[in-house]
Amino acid sequence: MRRLARFMLRIVTTAIPVVIAACYGVPYNFTQRGRVVDRDTKQGIGGLTVECRTASDATTESNYSGTDGSFVLIALSAADCQKVAVEDLRDGSTRYAPTSVASNSSSEIIIEVGLQP
């Protein structure tokens, strides 16, 4: 009886963390908030691609800026979001130059982008 109880206890203590991880997913530890604005007018720009990048320039998280230029990026760790890169991949003639800045999770960042020459 004791062996069965120990066996069942071992199964339960092994299974519970797996069930919790399956229900709640991977915990995210890094959030970067900010706005993308036009360098000249300081107006927010919507629809631009905003990405978290590692030191080796690998993209780990991607999102789009809202109509007022605001964005939120959520990454697993600060190492997964050392830089925030902005690219204009929208259709149309107005193209903003790709820009990247260092991330700073302790405050909202403002990324100024200029039109390509």
16-74 pLDDT, tens digit per residue, is: 777 776 777 666 689 999 999 999 999 999 999 999 999 999 999 999 999 999 999 99
Q: Which CATH class is domain 30-113?
A: mainly beta
How many Cβ atoms from other residues are within 10 Å of residue 16's Cβ? Answer: 10
29 CB-side CA count, 13 A: 5
Model pTM score: 0.74
What are the residue ranges spanned by the domains of the chain?
Answer: 30-113
pLDDT in tens, 67-111: 999 999 999 888 999 999 999 998 877 799 999 999 988 889 999
